[in-house]
Amino acid sequence: MSSKDYDCAVVVKKGRWSKMDDQRLRDLVHKEPDVTRPKWVRIAKAFKFRSGKQCRERWENHLKRGIKKRKFGHEESEFILREVEKVYPETPKWANIAKQLKSATPLMVRNHVNNFLKRVETHGSTRRRGPVAGVNG
């Protein structure tokens, strides 16, 4: 690679999104011709240092209508863990599990399982019988 190849490198900002950035992302998504399938690369161009992937993930995991930040109830937690056990040792399809729950994202489901596994590992037991085997993702 020559030094010319590095001239077009995009600098991507990592870290927190401001409230203004969130509102700007909402506005840009709602201006898209097809709100259900926004063009993330085009949207990212409106942000100086954000990639299309960052914009998509912010939207899908935090800003999309219907997402509620909450703890899963006991029945939901049991359901998630049963679904994970069904596919073990394969990595679960988080999106398929999340679709079956009200207002949950794949990221919320994956984090719930990983936090459960950490509790089992550090405390040795949980309120649930039969711990789920290690699952990554």
Domain limits, the chain: 8-63, 74-123
The model's pLDDT over 35-77, given as tens digits with 9 standing for 90+, comes to 889 999 999 999 989 999 999 999 988 998 888 888 899 999 9
The model's pLDDT over 91-133, given as tens digits with 9 standing for 90+, comes to 889 999 998 998 889 999 999 999 998 988 887 765 554 445 5
CA pair distance 49, 42, nearest whole angstrom: 13
pLDDT of residue 64: 87
Q: What is the pTM of this model?
A: 0.67
CA pair distance 112, 123, nearest whole angstrom: 16
The answer on pLDDT for 22 being more than 80 is: yes
Q: How confident is the model over 10-31, as a mean pLDDT?
A: 88
The CATH class for the domain spanning 74-123 reads: mainly alpha
Cα 68–73–79 angle (5° rounding)?
105
Which residue, among 125, 131, 130, has the nearest Cα to 113 in the 3D structure? Answer: 131
pLDDT of residue 10: 57
Q: Can 8-63 and 74-123 be said to share one CATH topology?
A: yes
In the CATH scheme, what architecture does the domain 8-63 have?
Orthogonal Bundle (1.10)
